[in-house]
Amino acid sequence: TQVRAQVAGPLVLAGKSMGGRIASMLADEQQVQALVCLGYPFYPAGKTDRPRIEHLTDLRTPTLIVQGERDALGAKVIVQPYPLSTAIEFAWLAFADHDLKPLKRSGFTHEQYMALSAQRIADFLQKVLV
């Protein structure tokens, strides 16, 4: 709220893991222009039957979630069927875990995935902040 009062231009919230979850709970309330989450914790570790998505079903803020396909807190095969808001876009990283680190056999390095994530975030923000 204090930052919103001091910023004349667009405001973007971002967070990694639980920081992204908290940011997603504040995004609509604070009327930010965009939200970026990295490694979103869709459910507690080992408890895929307890999704934490209630507020994500009607989220209005344009959102990008950069997520590892094999994230222990949000694997693609489990998350894809969720009834999430159409304001949410995904950038899925093949073979990546919660820290967006790929398996060695993927042929990708963590540094490459960080660069790819940064580019996808930049592209997303350029699109939604016009």
In tens, the pLDDT along 49-73 reads 999 999 999 999 999 999 999 999 9
What does 59-118 look like in DSSP terms, one character per residue? --S-EEEEEETT-TTS-HHHHTTS---TTEEEEEETTB-TTSPBPGGGT--HHHHHHHHH
Residue with tokens 């504040």: 26
Give the per-residue pLDDT at 3: 87
Give the per-residue pLDDT at 2: 86
d(CA 81, CA 76): 9
Give the per-residue pLDDT at 4: 80
Q: Both tokens of residue 130?
A: 């016009």
Q: What is the mean pLDDT of residues 73-102?
A: 98
Share of the chain above pLDDT 70, in %: 100
Per-residue pLDDT band at 98 (split at 50, 70, 90)? very high
